[in-house]
Amino acid sequence: MPKSLSADIKNDIKSAILAGKVSMEVANRFRVTYATVNNYANKFFPNRQRRLGDRPMVVSAQTKRFIKLQVLQGQLKTAREVHGKLMELGYYISYKTAINVLESMNFFAAIKVKKPLLTAKHMKRRLAWAKKHQNWATDDWRRVVFSDETKVNIWGSDGCKYYWSRPGDPLKPHHIDVTVKHGGGSLMMWGCMTYEGPGYACQIYDETMNSDLYQHILDTTLRETMEYYNMDWSTAYFQHDSDPKHRSKSTVQWLQANGVNYIDDWPAQSPDLNPIEHLWHHLKLKLSLYDKKAKGVHELWERVEKEWNSFDKEVCIRQYNKYVIKFLHDLSRCSFFTHCMARGAGARMCDLGGVEDASIRRLGCWNSDSMNGAYVTGLHREAMRSLAGFGKVKGNFYLPRANLDPCVELQKKVFPLVDEWLDKLDANAIEYNVAARGFLTLMKQLRITFLQDSVLIMKDFPAHPVFKHELFNDPLFVTFKSNLEELLLSDSTPQEITLLRAMPALAKELDTRFNAQDASLRLLLQQNQEFQSKLEDISTGRAPVPVRVTVDFSDGNRTVTGVTSNGLASEIQGDSQVGLLSIPSQTTIDTMMFNASDGQQASTSSVSVTTSTQGVHRWSEGVHTIHDLWREYTVELGGGLSIEELNKSQKPWYPKSHKTFHYRRMRIIKAIKNYAEEHSITTDTAVQIAERRRLALQPSLDSIGKNISKLYID
């Protein structure tokens, strides 16, 4: 047994481990094994932080922060420059280590994106154009017809391509990306797109276009596109870039003469603002998917026409939406980031507004991974309804005061700092902030509501201290107040909205009564059908005929034989008797009247009543399984006589419209009986086999009766 260590050595080992010494160094120092040091370390410090086994980075954290700043500012553009900079700082490392330093800071190499050159003049014009159209709504952008020209090469660039090979393998044909000078032939085309779908496109021959040819394209191709989508020149907007032939004097005169609304200040070097550029990209991608290149320009144009016509409305809507979202983002009107309202806060607000639990749950996805709720760009209707004070009854709400907006001068007197801070944001005088712009824009809209509501509140609370402000004595507000009050007196709420808002209970009661009336009508129709069916059964002899016989006696002590039916006599006594008899076929009823005083027959009358000798066999059309069909034949589903009993008692007879239906059912019955007899099994077993066969093939009973071979296959 090995000798245990002394207490002093144990304390020294403990102190060395606590000082952060390596286990091997401690073992060599105190002449113990490596395992002994680890055992004591686990015993004394079970929760200690273990050192990583990797080699520590040569470059310090401070130097890495410096390199990161240089890369972000663009002063160090390549890994070679980073390697040289580190060598200058005294870090004699390899080029691969420099790449590792960049990757440790989450920098990775990427291909530079090619973008048009934007000068200061271009940027200024782009900003001015964006501000000019910042108040356009989504419906305004949907009325814009975007147009452009593009060049399509037979041997165009399909982007970066890769291939797989082993070291030392020779170069093979499928490893090569073939190139041809000048693209191997090309064509120029003009096209346009609308929100409803792509417009007509045309080829520009000789790849040159002047003002006359451009006006001819507008007069033919563009006009046909407008007529195809039922678009009006006066309401739509036509977009084209600042090409000289688009801005020539003759082209402008043609546009004005034809009443075309066009965007005349499209900024140069702005292909990212035109969604048709994305459509060109998709078109050329589709052309690159062909296995073989086009043999000439004519075949290339045929492919272009085919792929262009394959674009539908959904593709155009997707490009329009991307364009509008990007445009609003550039103007700071919306954000790509998700600003969410916590679901708990949203639920509490809706609960205060009297909204139902189902509406509260629709505020967002109720899970612990993410908080999805009401976003800044689209607040949920339930939350807005409760915050606005509306009830939980859904419907339209008419606000007459919203028909009149105050003048701009009066609006600027409410929250005057809003315009000042918006101007600072536009001039970049303060730090750019999406949330700040959104808040200021909201306040700019709320001052209109504030002025409109103030007119209504002043009627109920004219002495409120807030109305002592100089704003409410301003001539502009006094004029606005008088105009709005006059409008409120003359304006009337639409009748349907008034009923929905004032009498929701009445609407609910009417709906309940209409539903009850429909149910009663359906019940009457059902009873009428049952009565007609019973009447038909009685008239054809399928059901027994009830006969009511009344016999009156002058003397209550006399007994006579009143009714005879096929030798069956009913002896009736008493003052008055009423009996209900069932009269079978060929029944003769003899009614005899006797004179009680002399015992002689006073009168005799014989009435012969003849009913149908053949009963009608009626199968139920609601039977769909073999089990129910066999039960109807042997037992009768309705509780009356079965088809088998009717066949035994009398010769079958069927209506003409029901005859084929009956015979196909009887073919199934006969097949079941024959199969049971041939295989020496019971009919119930044969029925089960037939039902399994029907479930496997899923045919109808009518189909089985028509082709009886489907029923059994041995």
pLDDT tens string 2-55:
667 888 888 888 888 888 788 888 888 888 888 888 888 888 887 776 665 667
Is the distance from CB of 323 to CB of 275 less than 8 angstroms?
yes
Is the pLDDT at 571 greater than 60? The verdict is no
Predicted confidence (pLDDT) per residue in 623-674, tens digit: 888 888 888 888 765 556 677 777 776 666 666 667 777 788 888 888 888 8
CB atoms within 10 A of CB 400: 16
pLDDT at 670: 86
Is the distance from CB of 587 to CB of 609 less than 8 angstroms?
yes
User: What is the C-alpha radius of gyration for the chain, rounded to an integer number of angstroms?
Assistant: 48
As to burial, measured by CB atoms within 10 angstroms (0-12 exposed, 13-18 middle, 19+ buried), residue 190 is: buried
Q: How far is the C-alpha of 421 from the C-alpha of 437, rounded, in Å?
A: 9
Residue with tokens 């016509």: 309
Chain center to CA of 209: 45
Q: What is the DSSP string of 555-609?
A: STT-EEEEEEETTEEEEEESSEEEEEEE--SSEEEEEEEE-TTT--EEEEEEEEE
Predicted confidence (pLDDT) per residue in 199-250, tens digit: 998 988 877 788 999 999 999 999 999 999 888 888 899 999 888 899 899 9
Assign 3-class secondary structure to 51-109: CCCCCCCCCCHHHHHHHHHHHHCCCCCCHHHHHHHHHHCCCCCCHHHHHHHHHHCCCCC
Strand partners, 560: 572
Residue 26's H or E segment, with its range, is: helix 23-30
Residue 198's H or E segment, with its range, is: strand 197-198
Residue 203's H or E segment, with its range, is: strand 202-204
CA distance to 324, 345, 382, 522, 622, per residue, from 525 (Å): 57, 54, 43, 5, 18
448 or 618: which leads in pLDDT = 448
pLDDT at 690: 85
Distance separating the N- and C-terminal Cα atoms of the chain: 86
Residue 238's H or E segment, with its range, is: strand 237-239
Task: Indicate the domain borders of the chain.
Answer: 7-44, 122-158+183-330, 336-394, 399-502, 510-543, 546-609, 626-710
Q: Which of 164-173, 244-253, 432-441 has the lowest mean pLDDT?
A: 432-441
**Pick from 194, 217, 198: which is nearest to 286 by CA?**
198
> Tokens standing for 425?
């944001």
pLDDT at 86: 92
Q: How far is the C-alpha of 703 from the C-alpha of 423, rounded, in Å?
A: 80
Is the distance from CB of 664 to CB of 705 less than 8 angstroms?
yes
pLDDT at 379: 43
Strand partners, 653: 616
The dihedrals phi and psi of 18, each to the nearest 5 degrees, come to: -65, -30
Q: How far is the C-alpha of 686 from the C-alpha of 683, rounded, in Å?
A: 5
Q: What is the DSSP string of 489-525?
A: HH----HHHHHHHH-HHHHHHHHHHHHHHHHHHHHHH
Q: Which of 232-246, 331-345, 575-589 has the lowest mean pLDDT?
A: 575-589
Mean pLDDT, the chain, integer: 74
Is the distance from CB of 628 to CB of 637 less than 8 angstroms?
yes
User: How would you classify the pairing of strands 144-153 and 237-239?
Assistant: parallel
Is the distance from CB of 451 to CB of 411 less than 8 angstroms?
yes
CA distance to 74, 123, 134, 271, per residue, from 120 (Å): 20, 5, 21, 17
Q: How far is the C-alpha of 21 from the C-alpha of 100, rounded, in Å?
A: 29
pLDDT band at 545 (very low <50, low <70, confident <90, very high): low
User: How would you classify the pairing of strands 576-582 and 546-552?
Assistant: antiparallel
CATH code assigned to 122-158+183-330 = 3.30.420.10
Predicted confidence (pLDDT) per residue in 98-122, tens digit: 999 999 898 888 877 777 777 888 8
CA atoms within 13 A on the CB side of 82: 28
Q: How far is the C-alpha of 238 from the C-alpha of 147, rounded, in Å?
A: 8
Is the pLDDT at 449 greater than 80? The verdict is yes
> Tokens standing for 389?
């004070």
- Which residue blocks in 310-433 are alpha helix, DSSP H? 313-330, 343-352, 357-361, 381-387, 408-412, 417-426
Q: E-assigned strands of 173-225?
A: 186-194, 197-198, 202-204
Handedness of CA 276, 147, 331, 110 (dihedral sign): positive
Is the pLDDT at 579 greater than 90? The verdict is no
CA distance to 64, 86, 653, per residue, from 58 (Å): 10, 11, 106
Task: Please give the average per-residue pLDDT across 543-571, as a whole number.
Answer: 42
Q: How far is the C-alpha of 329 from the C-alpha of 314, rounded, in Å?
A: 22
**Pick from 187, 221, 186: which is nearest to 204 by CA?**
187
